[in-house]
Amino acid sequence: MIIKKCVDSQILKNIIYYEGSSRENIVIFYEKNVGLYPYLKYINSIHNEYFNGGIPQNTNISVYIFKLRQDISKKIPNPDFDGIAVINVEEWRPTHDSN
């Protein structure tokens, strides 16, 4: 099996894939379907909206793990799935204007 490194700065960053795999072997999880992932949404210069506690320290980890397992089972119902699962949580990307 040949392994290549895929570098696509727009969508899939530094993801290892297997040559010959098809798109059916890739599942992408976003904020809304990866448990109760905490994040902040910028509203304006003085206000951010908090989702699921906003930061990991404010999250109930037991509830998060329970929901994460449900979400994974829903998106990948086959226990023999041998493709790639990508967690793409763009709400946690660095934004210099909010630092």
pLDDT in tens, 27-69: 888 877 788 888 888 888 888 899 888 888 888 889 988 998 8
Total domains in the chain come to 1
User: Residue 16 domain-assigned?
Assistant: no
pLDDT of residue 96: 60
Q: Which position among 19, 49, 90, 91 bears the catalytic label?
A: 90
User: Residue 10 domain-assigned?
Assistant: no
Give the residue with greater pLDDT, 32 vs 75: 75
Q: Domain range spanning residue 28?
A: 22-98
**Residue 90: active-site member:** yes
Rounded average pLDDT over 5-12: 48
What are the angstrom distances between the C-alpha of 81 and each of 54, 61, 70, 75, 78? Answer: 32, 26, 16, 11, 5
Q: Is 82 exposed, middle or buried, given 0-12, 13-18 or 19+ CB atoms closer than 10 A?
A: exposed
Q: Is residue 6 within 8 Å of 12, Cβ to Cβ? A: yes
> Rounded to an integer, what distance in angstroms lies between the CA atom of residue 17 and that of residue 47?
40
User: Residue 60 domain-assigned?
Assistant: yes
